[in-house]
Structure 1
Amino acid sequence: MRVVLGLLLLACCGGLVSSADIINPDSANTFHVLSGSNPGGWVLTGSANPNPILNMTIGTTYYISIDYSNTAHPFGLNTNGATTGGPALVVGDYGLVVNGTSPCTGSATAGFVSTAAAPFCVLAFTPNATTPQLYYHCTVHQNMVGAFQLNAAAAAGNATTAAPTTGAPTTGAPTTPAPAGNGTTTPPTTAAPANSISPDATNTFHVTGAVANNAGWIFTSGGATFTNPTLNIAYGKTYTFSIEFPTSIHPFGLSTSATNTAVSDLGLKNAVNGSTCGVDTNTGGFTTTTTCSLTFTPPANTPQPLYYHCAFHSAMVGQIVVSGLPKSSGFALVPGFAALFAVIAGLFAQ
């Protein structure tokens, strides 16, 4: 992966490149479409660039107000964000409906059109848990397309079950219990971090969602959910990251910084025998419109600390702790002395 900072790539079948912003609805949960043009794209309130990403939470009803006469650009939804290819123009019925008696013509499967004068067409949309990764489209012009970011409802919080311990407190400095009757001493123990997980039996970490408002990654482990957990791995083993939700706007990568979202080539790669992820050419992060798998085998020079990151959202970050990394001897010859030692060693060998 090569990090190339720049415009946002909405990666999917064929790829969609757009200098897109992520915008929230107004106080009435409404997104306002101000205009649209080919090849310029859709213009919405709150975005400095065309075709912005619309930020939504599953289970909440949103409204899309088409605030101009869009007879040349019918508005609809589909699961293909590509800017080329006939299927990109086919919109489907994903729950986009006319709000009340709003003056709209068309349909969910043909695209909606607003009248020439106010009041304009207002559409309602309530994403649910089964809603796929969606894009809004002009049914005529393929480059008039933007993405929906569907966030999970408010997270329940991190699992906080501490690892079981015997004879030692779970907080504070480790202590040594009094010797038992046979004279042996129980080794000191400390509690495992509450938000720390290990892979499953197949050495897999399951990345299952994103917290609302891009506040973190959601991992599932042992039937519990964790937000941005610390991942425990070991040197010399291969691990799989199973990305189990659409990540077109959450490119997944590795970094040596907890605050900088730039991801680097640190050995994360597509699974050889598994479903492969797309690559965001602007950030180097991995994306998928459905699910995909990545593998990571920590090399001997794995930097510590190491972090997994979303390449766009700084709050979507967690640490990776690698145990068993080879340690250097700590002894190095000062430049110039190596040759001297070699000569002396040669004299003794004669």
Structure 2
Amino acid sequence: MFSKIRISKYKVISAVAMLTLLLGANIFPSCNEAKNSREIEPAFYYWKTVFKLTDFEKQRLDSLHVKTIYIKFFDVGWSDEAQTPVPLAKLQANNFTLPQKFSVIPTVFITNECIQKIHSSQIAEMANNIYRLIHEIINSNSFNNIKEIQIDCDWTASTKSNYFLLLEKINILWKNTAIPVSATIRLHQIKFMGKTGVPPVNKGLLMCYNMGNLKNPTTKNSIIETAELKKYVGNLSNYPLALDVALPLFDWKVLFRKNIYTGLIENLPDAVFTNSFSTKKDNSYELLKDTLLQGYDLKKGDVLRSEQSDYSEILSAAGVVNKRLKNTRPRVSLYHLDSVILKKYTLHELETIYNSMR
């Protein structure tokens, strides 16, 4: 329980026809002008359990003119023992006060397992508990200017019914507050919209990352790969919800043992690998002997695939989405706000990523 116009060449053009062409040129802007009219709102995701901004993070937010932060308030998982949804990884601010100039978007991550296992009769109570716990965290941390509430869940065709019912219940609870409810939208939910449906919320946020098969040993980069992205966004311009956009900044190592996905390792730089205990092929490292590496017990034969959010790949992916996005005033968020990650990109690079969506 939780608390431009092409004109054929003619020898003679009448005065009326010429006037028509001139008026048309003034009324209808070129494609480039239309594209450049898009306004974006820069934002960041904060996805750590302990909430506290470093001075460097504050400087980056100020330099990038970011005033909106999505903050993960808690997760919701399923308890097999209690046969009920339970709150996990609740946000801890530890008396850290967020400056009043920032707006907050409380974000709640719900596991698909939870949506799959919950009985429809439990959904109203789950919505009420989520509502109460969000309010509790807002009040206890003095968060200001709540722009919207976001629900994050990688729902499927089989869990659509329960999840959409939950969103309807949550919408009802927030209706009187005039605070809109949004939902994250993954790429497969765009491509297979007919099967997965469109969530009953005010708007969506398109997650332009985690697009490849993480657990497949032959995948090159599951975080972001433009070639993979193109397979999913063909009908993006037809999606009925207004969409904001999120782009990745994070990186990780994907561990395979005996060619089977074993887990993710974060904050392990490529520099720690040497020829003395590993061999490199493309973006993967194979361990030549048992190794204890920064607390990770790795075995001979283990393969670590190094996946990154490469700057040029982010721009390439953003360009693909930009051509198809209908929303003329999207919020563009980077995932996520962390000093270690931010130091891997120059301020100019971060500015360019945002501007690529204009």
Task: Give the structure-1-normalised TM-score.
Answer: 0.27
* Structure having the higher Rg: 1
Asked which structure has the greater RCO (Cα within 8 Å, sep 6+), the reply is 2
